[in-house]
Each structure stands twice: as structure tokens, then as C-alpha cells.
């Protein structure tokens, strides 16, 4: 069997699945249950100055019968006394010394506060510290969270403060509430961070109660922007992750991937795009800690099938496959093909193509049902019909190159070719 063991900045864990800094890692009882279920590590919920959370705190959106496709929270850092958290971290470490214990921090915005917090965490025996530069709500007015992550100069300064006293690995958690995560990542690296993690939650409003007219979640008739996470944010997280993996100034440090990871396939995708391990939150909150069994078994089976012995064997393999649009092969062409034996004659492909695309599907009206075929000369290979088809592998995309030669837009322009010539 494949070896799922992870070594992130020297922080070892039996598998690459960590629970992200969030309610599931807020106290000893939760973390013990997680470790008993088999999680490789946790990032303890963010510690900092004493705060008070509000009620209610969560909201979500569903889609097509599935609940919590997108999850929103307005919860702040841990509202439990700092000393209780530190004491429980020590107790957990004694019971599970083989698991990764990283502690998230968000100190007040001055050097002494960061120094004090780092030292207190190190005294617990924790294996690493994650700097929370991403909380998009509730701490920004104090110059903390996203207020730090959105300003590269401040981010660099805070990392430098931390590195003045830190003796264990430091991971900087980046905010996605920026045009690009690259400047913040570079600033953190210049400040001395040992690793990066992303994404933190995205500012959002998940919906409005059409009876009360109050956005969700409702706190006494009012609401605020929350932090968006869950399966819906995965594509955004993968994009931000890839921009870091493609940057030579950044990809020299390990990255912990976060954002909508629900299945082992999601985890594999994050690692193929450069993440050295992954952090999970919403999936555990919705389905419980025992999902770790499926995560590990699924990843293990896939690695065995592909011949990967360790997770390091496939980390980053998909990064070179992400290029720029102008470098794509213009002569590569595909057309749709409908398997008539699998077709259920629902007509969704025809409606989608006829109304919104290229009128490339023919309809033969009949009794008891209509038949659909592809008008290949009109098919541009956009994939829409395959996407809307409810039957797996009923519609497939078949390669039909326009020419033997590969040519991209840059070469097309260099040769002075005209579109009609092509």
C-alpha cells in the first residue's frame, strides 16, 4: 500500500489531512475525537486577545438538493480563555504525540503582543504556528486578520516580529480577499515565514430571509459580511494555489492547501497543484470526523492505482499543465458524440445548445421520444452538452484535430496568418 505519511516543514503526521483552524479544533474534546478517528493533525482554532462571539454565527446555501454547498460564518477567534486553550493543547500532545499540532495565532498589532503569544504557544510543545492573516470579519477594525493580509508591508512586518523569537516552524495563512495572493505571499517569505497556507474564507453574503428582509445569519435583526467556505470555493482556492505554485519566488516554500476539500479527489487535486498537505473544515462540520477514513482510503487506493509510493511522488505534477491562453494549441479540436444506447432522450443537450450555444445538435422528432445527433461541422467542442447531460458517459468529446501542426496564438501572429487562412 502507498505511504500516506506527511512531513510538512519537519512536522510529521500519519497522513496529509489536517483539520483547519475553526470550531472543530476549538477545544480538547473535539481534537481528541478527531485524532481518535484518524486525522493526521490539527490547526488549533486561532488564539489571541479575549473576545466574545455573537449568536447566530453560521449560514449556508444549498444547490440541487444538496445542503451546505457554500458555508458562511461570522465567528471570530476562540472565545475561550487563553490559558485553558494552552493547557488543553499540552494535554492533547501528551495523548497523541504522533499527530501534528499547529496553533493558529492572531495577536494584537504590536511586536510585544506577538512575541508574548509565540512564546506561550511554544511552551506547550506545539509543533508549529499558523499566522492568521485572513479573517475577513470582526477583527479588521482592530488592525488584525485580513487587515494584515491585505497589506503586504504590514504582513511582512508582522512575520518579521514573529521570526525574531520563533523556534518552531511558522506558516502564514493568506487571505483570498485580494486581487492577487502573490504580493502577500512574497511579503511573508521576505519576512522569513517557513511555509504558507491558503485560502482563508472569502467575504460573502449567502442570502436574505425574504420574510424578515435580514441577511443571514441574523443577529438581532442585523448581519455582517461573513467568511465563505465549503465545496463552492474549491475552484477559487485551486486558482490561488496555482498562482503561488507557478511563482519561482514562492514555490520554494511548502504550501498547505485549504478551501472546499470534501473528498479524497479534492485533496489529490490540491496536491497535484502544489499543496504539500491539506486542511479540512466544512466537510467535517457537516459530516463528522469519521470522513477521515474515506479520505485516507480513497487517496491510498488512487496512489496504488497510479503507482505512487508517497505523496511527494505527485505533489505539483499538474502545475506545468496550467499555461497562458495565448499558448494553447489552436489546432486542437474536439466534437461531441452521443451514445444512443445510453441516451434517455431528455433533450437537455439540445435545449442548451440550441438556445445558448452553436445550434450543433439535430433533433429528429418521433414517437414515443425524440432522437438527438451531433451536427459536427457546427460543433465547436465547448463541452456544454456533456456538462448538462444527466447520464454519465452518454456524451463524450472526441478529438478531431484541424491540422497536424500545433500552433498557438503567439505563433499565429508571428507568421502573419489571417483567421480565414487558419
Residue pair 422/345 in contact (Cβ under 8 Å)? The answer is no
- The grid coordinates listed for 311 are 505523496
Residues of 13-30 as b/e, b for ≥16 C-beta within 10 angstroms? bbbbbbbbbbbbbbbbeb
Residue pair 40/289 in contact (Cβ under 8 Å)? The answer is no
Instruction: Provide the pairing of β-strand 226-229 with 395-399.
Output: unpaired
Closest listed residue to residue 372, CA positions, set 334, 342, 399: 342
Cα–Cα dist 168/178, whole Å: 28
Length of the chain: 422
Question: Which contacts qualify for 397-400: CB closer than 8 Å, 24 or more apart?
Answer: 397/334, 397/335, 397/336, 397/337, 398/334, 398/335, 398/336, 398/337, 399/332, 399/333, 399/334, 400/333, 400/334, 400/335, 400/376
Closest listed residue to residue 315, CA positions, set 269, 280, 279: 269
- The grid coordinates listed for 391 are 447520464
φ, ψ for residue 406, nearest 5 deg: -85, 135
Cα–Cα dist 264/118, whole Å: 33
Catalytic choice (135, 343, 353, 394): 135
Residue pair 133/189 in contact (Cβ under 8 Å)? The answer is no
- Which residue(s) pair with 195 in the sheet? 171
Closest listed residue to residue 89, CA positions, set 145, 27, 39: 27
Active site residue 379: no
Residue pair 271/12 in contact (Cβ under 8 Å)? The answer is no
* DSSP letters spanning 67-83: EEEEEEE---S--S-HH
Output the CA–CA distances (angstroms, integers) from residue 36 to 92, 99, 151, 204, 289, in the order listed: 11, 11, 40, 34, 9
Task: Please identify every residue annotated as catalytic.
Answer: 135
Amino acid at each position: 500500500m502507498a505511504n500516506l505519511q506527511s512531513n510538512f516543514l519537519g512536522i510529521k503526521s500519519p497522513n496529509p489531512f489536517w483539520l483547519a483552524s475553526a470550531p472543530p479544533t476549538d477545544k480538547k474534546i473535539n481534537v481528541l475525537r478527531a485524532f481518535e478517528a484518524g486525522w493526521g493533525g490539527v490547526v488549533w482554532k486561532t488564539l489571541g486577545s479575549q473576545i466574545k462571539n455573537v449568536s447566530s454565527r453560521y449560514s449556508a446555501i444549498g444547490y440541487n438538493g444538496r445542503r451546505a454547498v457554500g458555508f458562511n460564518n461570522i465567528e471570530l477567534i476562540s472565545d475561550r480563555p487563553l490559558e485553558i486553550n494552552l493547557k488543553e493543547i499540552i494535554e492533547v500532545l501528551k495523548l497523541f504525540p504522533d499527530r501534528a499540532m499547529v496553533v493558529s495565532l492572531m495577536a494584537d498589532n504590536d511586536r510585544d503582543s506577538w512575541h508574548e503569544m509565540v512564546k506561550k504557544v511554544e511552551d506547550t510543545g506545539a509543533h508549529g504556528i499558523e499566522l492568521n492573516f485572513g479573517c475577513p470579519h470582526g477583527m479588521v477594525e482592530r488592525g488584525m486578520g485580513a487587515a494584515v493580509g491585505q497589506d503586504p508591508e504590514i504582513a511582512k512586518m508582522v512575520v518579521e516580529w514573529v521570526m525574531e523569537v520563533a523556534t518552531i516552524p511558522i506558516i502564514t495563512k493568506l487571505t483570498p480577499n485580494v486581487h492577487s495572493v502573490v504580493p502577500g505571499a512574497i511579503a511573508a517569505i521576505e519576512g522569513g515565514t517557513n511555509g504558507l497556507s491558503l485560502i482563508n474564507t472569502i467575504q460573502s453574503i449567502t442570502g436574505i430571509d425574504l420574510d424578515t428582509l435580514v441577511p443571514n445569519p441574523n443577529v438581532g435583526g442585523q448581519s455582517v459580511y461573513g467568511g465563505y467556505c465549503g465545496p463552492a470555493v474549491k475552484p477559487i482556492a485551486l486558482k490561488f494555489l496555482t498562482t503561488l505554485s507557478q511563482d519561482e519566488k514562492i514555490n520554494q516554500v511548502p504550501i498547505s492547501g485549504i478551501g472546499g476539500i470534501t473528498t479524497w479527489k479534492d485533496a489529490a487535486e490540491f496536491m497535484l497543484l502544489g499543496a504539500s498537505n491539506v486542511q479540512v473544515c466544512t466537510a467535517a462540520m457537516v459530516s463528522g470526523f469519521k470522513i477521515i477514513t474515506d479520505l485516507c482510503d480513497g487517496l491510498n487506493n488512487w496512489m496504488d492505482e497510479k503507482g505512487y509510493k508517497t505523496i511527494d511522488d505527485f505533489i505539483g505534477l499538474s502545475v506545468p499543465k496550467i499555461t497562458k491562453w495565448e499558448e494553447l494549441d489552436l489546432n486542437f479540436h474536439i466534437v461531441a458524440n452521443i451514445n444512443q444506447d445510453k441516451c434517455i432522450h431528455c433533450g437537455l443537450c439540445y435545449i442548451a445548445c440550441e438556445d445558448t450555444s452553436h445550434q450543433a445538435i439535430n433533433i429528429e422528432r418521433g414517437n414515443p421520444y425524440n432522437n438527438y445527433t451531433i451536427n459536427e461541422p457546427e460543433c465547436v467542442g465547448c463541452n456544454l452538452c456533456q456538462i448538462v447531460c444527466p447520464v454519465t458517459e452518454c456524451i463524450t468529446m472526441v478529438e478531431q484535430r484541424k491540422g497536424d501542426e500545433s500552433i498557438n496564438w503567439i505563433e499565429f501572429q508571428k507568421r502573419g496568418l489571417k483567421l480565414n487562412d487558419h
